[in-house]
Amino acid sequence: MRKKGTRNPLRKRYLREIKSQWKKYLALFLLLTLTIGFVSGMFVANDSMETAAQEAYEKYNIEDGHFTMKELPADALLATFAEEGIHLVKQFYKDFDEDDDLDGERDAKARVFAMRDEMNRACLMEGRFPEKDDEIVIDRMHADNSNVTVGDTIRLNGRDMTIVGLVAFSDYSTLYENSSDVMFDALTFDVAAVTPECYETLDGKEAYQYAFQYNERPQSETEQKEKAETLAEQLMILSASGGLIDDEETADKLEELIDAGEALEEEGDTLEAEGDALEAEGDTLEMRGDALQEKADALKQEGAALEKAAMSLEITPDVAMQKKAELEKRGEELQKEGDALEAEADDLKKRGDDLQARADDLQKRADALEAELTALLPQVKSFEDLEQYEDETNELKDFVPEYANQAIHFAPSDLGSDKVMCEVLLIILIIVLAFIFAITVNQNIEKEAAVIGTLRASGYKRSELLIHYVSIPVIITFVAAVVGNLLGYSCFKGVVVSMYYNSYSLPTYVTLWNADGFIRTTVYPLLIMAAICTLVVFLKLRLSPLRFLRRDLRLSRRKKAVRLPKWKLMTRFRLRILFQNIPDYLVLTVGIFFVMIMLAFSVGLPATLDAYKADITDYMIADYQVILKSAEDKDGNPVETSEPTAEKFDMEGLVSVDGPHIGEKISAYGYQKGSSFFDLPDEMKDGEVYVSDAYSEKFHLSPGDSVTLKEEFGGRRYDFTIIGIYDLPGTVAILMPQDVFDRVFERKEGEFTGFLSKNEIMDIDDEMIMTVITEEDMMKMAKQLDHSMGSYMKYFAVICMLVAMLLIYLLTKLIIEKNAVSISMVKVLGYTNREINSLYIRLTTCVVILGAVITSCLSFLTVREVWKMVMYRLNGWFTFAVRMDLIIETTVMVIISYLIVSFFDMRRIKKIPLTEALKNVE
């Protein structure tokens, strides 16, 4: 039995073994250290920044959501929130053109708030908050990107403002101008704050935005979502009803009542018209009666005059009799006329009575309807009362609950996903390196087979030898993990932080000790390394001491040689080498695949962005897309333009309810017949639509499929049948002719959203325009991605090539070392170095080239799938560029890396001594 405290003497070999193969171990150590260091830095930076971002919720009192109204909302509308247990805070803002370098050119759009001291407070990063007019604080990251700092002057719509502080706005950690934007914009979008007094003096378009918090915070994500959806619906109804009602049922009921009221009013109007006609008829009758009376009076006077003349015998009796008869006849006629008039009057009276009865009935029904209205809405006593609410109707322009607010959430969630991705990359690389270590150990075991056999025969246990051979990989991994973590906390943390600060406007953070990160970057690599090496060594050490003494270490039964065709000897020789070294070449290919994935990303991303920029015109529906605030001007006339290329269009914001991204914002377009911007049929059935190819690709849709979409802020759902795919790669949209659009979305005739135009529309009042989407807006995403990641990609590609060189160096070194005796032997036989290189180097070259070509294709496809997964989380869609030239480029990069390494390999082969073949022993 071994004396207690006596250590295994084999441990003395560790240092010597490392020293004897220091180049290989150094390369492995460097790869491990740098990878662990970077990932450790990533963990430390991410967790510290994530903690700061989480703490910001309480520290800066971040909202539960916000909404924007088209007009300044009525008090009644706002009062409802207090009743619903929601705390509202006004956060109006104005957007300005920002000139950072005072050259008179617009550099960015600035969203200026009055200092917010209750909700969504800002974190001061440098300087102080504004105290006077013309003092401003702006976003720290935008300031960095625009090369302005505290003390500099910027110009907002021509007004000079002095920067007194740089801040991180808690609700704009990622600079999303609109919640529906595909990508944030740290280059041409800025958020700023001034004193409330200064804000009032700033002359610009104002957005009526309110932040809100629930008095009782939702306890779960589901509750949070339900609450937000209910609130959005309420808000939409409230704004549409001028703050009168907030639920759909009442809205429907009210609509019914209003319809019934309107029918009654129409009936009343008819009655009134009928009454008026009756009255006019009465007047005519009266006039005719009066005329008849006059005639009767005249007849009477004539009769009296006749009687007087007859009595005074001024006329003869015959004449008198004759005239009397005439008078009687005229009297009879008058009597007849009077009777007819009386009959007409009776009829008129009857009709008047009838009309009165109908009017009484109408009044009764109107009273009942009003009673019903009051019962429904106690604050409304009559239909006339509704008019005051009608004056206060509004429109909900935007509703963004906190959980869906990209400006708040994107950065923290990106921090989390980056961490996961880095961890996955670390694990893959550790596995690759563990296999390289395992191959190294395996070779050492084969080289030292007789010694191991002797030691085992002398009584050494398998476990003692296993520990001995696994120790070096584990020790090197442990040292690399420790050094890597030290580098992670010191150098790499700064690198990662600066990367994030370059893209996100995050608040100040404190570096936190990250136990989880330490475990993942230390324990995991150690476990992986130990597990893989132990497995390989264990399988070898299972063999009997005799097998070791006989140097017979095959794990499988003797294999027959593969019969090869009668090719040239050198070809067969190479194939035999390939068959013998398949595990090594497999690890080499996996290593190349690992590098290729990183290379595909570093080469593919800039190419994707370049392609996107180059094809930007294809991605635009029109060069100018003018969205109006209203289709009618102040006087109620439709907004028109004299721009000859302009064409009206209609748009409705919908969201997906299923598929790979629930809640995806989908624009429904209504286009004019014979549209010059949409090459689509003029006639479609209701419910039939074309979908953009971006939508089709993202949601895997084909003609014939059905889709259900929902109102963005309401609960109404629409079912559509896809009849075709339209080439519109940048926009997730459905398209239909205007008349179909009007019927589907119950639009009034003549209603529209704005104009599409090839030229800038100059003759529409700015006040009428809500926004204009131009090429610049479409480029924002590409520019931002380019800024955030594109600039790093060249360096990343170089790092990838270095990693490729190290990996290929290690693996080809192992292959050459494994074949050293054979190489030495053929040298002894008289083979020249050139011939030997043609055997070993050319084979490896073929494997590397083939591996590079295959893995390059695979890696691009892999990255494309990963890219899709990322895009599923975002609004919008564009695909990762997988092009032949990029595949060739990455393949060439790996081949160049290999060629550099192969130079060292040739030197290594040349250095293999002839006596190596004569040793035959360890």
Partner 1 sequence: MQKEQHFLEVHQIYKAYGSGDSRQEVLRGMDFTVAKGEFCVLLGPSGSGKSTLLNIIGGIDCADDGYIAIHGDKLKDMDEKALTMYRRKHLGYVFQLYNLIPNLTVKENIEVGAYLSDHPLETEELLQTLGLYEHRHKLPNQLSGGQQQRTSIGRAIIKNPDILLCDEPTGALDYNTSKEILKLIEEVNQKYGNTVIMVTHNEAIQQMADHTVKLRDGQVRKNIMNENKISATELDW
Residues at the contact surface with partner 1, assessed by CB under 8 A: 552, 554, 558-561, 563, 569-570, 572-573, 576-577, 579-580, 821-822, 825-833, 914-915, 917-918, 920
- Calculate the alpha carbon distances from 12 to 19, 459, 462, 560, 849 in Å: 12, 19, 18, 41, 41
Element of type H or E holding 864: helix 833-873
User: Please, what is the minimum distance in Å from the beta carbon of residue 440 to partner 1?
Assistant: 20
Contact 190, 142 (CB under 8 A): yes
Task: With CA atoms as reference, report the closest residue to 127 among 168, 153, 170, 164.
Answer: 164
- Nearest 5°: the CA angle 98, 99, 102 is 155
Contact 677, 622 (CB under 8 A): yes
- Location of structure tokens 């625009």: 146
Q: Give whichever of 4 and 911 is closer to partner 1, judged by the CB atom.
A: 911
DSSP 321-376: HHHHHHHHHHHHHHHHHHHHHHHHHHHHHHHHHHHHHHHHHHHHHHHHHHHHHHHH
Q: Give whichever of 7 and 911 is closer to partner 1, judged by the CB atom.
A: 911
User: Please, what is the minimum distance in Å from the beta carbon of residue 803 to partner 1?
Assistant: 30
Element of type H or E holding 97: strand 93-99
Q: Give whichever of 558 and 685 is closer to partner 1, judged by the CB atom.
A: 558
User: Please, what is the minimum distance in Å from the beta carbon of residue 832 to partner 1?
Assistant: 5
Q: Give whichever of 512 and 549 is closer to partner 1, judged by the CB atom.
A: 549
- Nearest 5°: the CA angle 699, 703, 706 is 65
Q: Give whichever of 510 and 569 is closer to partner 1, judged by the CB atom.
A: 569
Q: Give whichever of 238 and 823 is closer to partner 1, judged by the CB atom.
A: 823
Q: Give whichever of 822 and 845 is closer to partner 1, judged by the CB atom.
A: 822
3-state secondary structure 262-327: HHHHHHHHHHHHHHHHHHHHHHHHHHHHHHHHHHHHHHHHHHHHHHHHHHCCCCCHHHHHHHHHHH
Q: Give whichever of 482 and 821 is closer to partner 1, judged by the CB atom.
A: 821
Q: Give whichever of 556 and 637 is closer to partner 1, judged by the CB atom.
A: 556
User: Please, what is the minimum distance in Å from the beta carbon of residue 579 to partner 1?
Assistant: 7
Which residues in 532-635 belong to E strands, given as ranges?
A: 624-628
Q: Give whichever of 515 and 921 is closer to partner 1, judged by the CB atom.
A: 921
Tokens of 378: 């106690």
- Nearest 5°: the CA angle 900, 902, 906 is 130
Q: Give whichever of 371 and 570 is closer to partner 1, judged by the CB atom.
A: 570
Which residues in 480-587 belong to E strands, given as ranges?
A: none
Q: Give whichever of 209 and 844 is closer to partner 1, judged by the CB atom.
A: 844
Q: Give whichever of 311 and 829 is closer to partner 1, judged by the CB atom.
A: 829
Contact 709, 734 (CB under 8 A): yes
CA within 13 Å, CB half, 574: 17
d(C-alpha 74, C-alpha 384), whole Å: 18
Q: How many CB atoms are located within 10 Å of the residue 58 CB? A: 8
SS3 at position 688: strand
User: Please, what is the minimum distance in Å from the beta carbon of residue 478 to partner 1?
Assistant: 36
User: Please, what is the minimum distance in Å from the beta carbon of residue 849 to partner 1?
Assistant: 22
- Calculate the alpha carbon distances from 355 to 352, 359, 366 in Å: 5, 6, 16
> What letter does residue 606 receive in the DSSP assignment?
H
Q: Give whichever of 288 and 572 is closer to partner 1, judged by the CB atom.
A: 572
Tokens of 775: 């090429």
User: Please, what is the minimum distance in Å from the beta carbon of residue 910 to partner 1?
Assistant: 9
- Calculate the alpha carbon distances from 636 to 630, 632, 745 in Å: 10, 5, 22
User: Please, what is the minimum distance in Å from the beta carbon of residue 587 to partner 1?
Assistant: 18
Task: With CA atoms as reference, report the closest residue to 863 among 617, 495, 669, 608.
Answer: 608
Q: Is 706 exposed, middle or buried (0-12, 13-18, 19+ CB in 10 A)?
A: exposed
Q: Give whichever of 16 and 554 is closer to partner 1, judged by the CB atom.
A: 554
Q: Give whichever of 323 and 572 is closer to partner 1, judged by the CB atom.
A: 572
CA within 13 Å, CB half, 244: 29
d(C-alpha 774, C-alpha 620), whole Å: 8
User: Please, what is the minimum distance in Å from the beta carbon of residue 902 to partner 1?
Assistant: 21
3-state secondary structure 740-779: HHHHHCCCCCCCCCEEEECCCCCCCCHHHEEEEECHHHHH
